[in-house]
Amino acid sequence: MKPLISISSLSFSYGVVPVLENITFAINPGDFIAIIGPNGSGKTTLLRILLGFLSPTSGKVQHAIPQEQIGYVPQRYTIDKNFPGTVREILGTEDSSLFKRTGIEQFVNKKFVALSGGQQQRVLIALALRQKPKLLFLDEPTAGVDIQAQREFYQLLKLLNHQGIAIVLVTHEVGVIPSLVKKVICINHQLCCVGKPSDIHHLLEKMYGPEFVVHRHKHKHSHEHQHGDSRV
């Protein structure tokens, strides 16, 4: 099976500051990958290189599919909160099957900025799906989205993956990963580990150290108790 994207010995630095060093992995058809790592670990930089917004300082990124077959869902915070466009205008289509597939048919005539976080993410997914992608990149898609909307959103991603779209998710939300993705890639400037989601605790321990995992678990339980959230 030929990879959709192959990344080999990729390094990137801002001036003299190294951000990514010697990263190698592949994205295959049907993959559902979560890229995780602490803040400032280079996750977003890696995503921007994979999307072609940045060029690696060294190493190779080989795309086996054209850019038209790659969908991108940016963080919704990057959208201007005064943008006056409606969902229908943003999508630029009357394709009711697309509206239904992404569960947005009830609010296509509303302004994008008037929607909840979860609804906005669905619209951004619908926009990416317009071009019938084989690979979908999502950058922190559920940041600031409530738990119920997060669950529904992840179910939508699961469905899209079952329909044959490879998905790469950059996220902080490790709580949902075991039930969702097929592969987890942990980075902290370097590739710390790649594994199955069932290994998630092991991977986190490897990435952050055992103390961190114990501490974060304590924190997670108290945080869930207070807010029902599960962020790392």
To which H or E segment does residue 222 belong?
helix 210-227
Asked if 80 is part of the footprint of another protein (rule: CB under 8 A), the reply reads yes
SS3 call for 231:
coil
Asked if 84 is part of the footprint of another protein (rule: CB under 8 A), the reply reads yes
Cβ contacts of residue 178 below 8 Å, gap of 6+? 197, 198, 200
Residue type, 218: K
CA gap 23, 59 in Å, rounded:
8
> Which residue matches tokens 């490790």?
174
CA gap 98, 91 in Å, rounded:
10
* Count of residues touching another protein (by CB under 8 A): 25
Asked if 85 is part of the footprint of another protein (rule: CB under 8 A), the reply reads yes
Instruction: Rule CB under 8 A: choose which of 26, 64, 90, 194 binds another protein.
Output: 90
In 10-27, which positions are buried (b, 16+ CB within 10 angstroms) versus exposed (e)? bbbeeeeeebbbebebbb
Binding segment for another protein (CB under 8 A), chosen from 7-15, 37-45, 84-92, 212-220, is 84-92
To the nearest whole angstrom, how small is the minimum distance from the Cβ of residue 61 to another protein?
Answer: 16
To the nearest whole angstrom, how small is the minimum distance from the Cβ of residue 202 to another protein?
Answer: 35
CA gap 22, 199 in Å, rounded:
23
Instruction: Rule CB under 8 A: choose which of 25, 32, 72, 208 binds another protein.
Output: 72
Q: Which residue number, 3 or 74, has a Cβ lying nearer to another protein? A: 74
Asked if 70 is part of the footprint of another protein (rule: CB under 8 A), the reply reads yes
Q: Which residue number, 77 or 155, has a Cβ lying nearer to another protein? A: 77
Binding segment for another protein (CB under 8 A), chosen from 8-16, 37-45, 127-135, 194-202, is 127-135
Asked if 77 is part of the footprint of another protein (rule: CB under 8 A), the reply reads no
Structural contact between residues 30 and 162, judged by C-beta atoms closer than 8 angstroms? no
Task: Write out the residues near another protein by the rule CB under 8 A.
Answer: 51, 53, 67-68, 70-72, 74, 78-80, 82-86, 89-90, 92, 111, 124, 127-128, 130-131
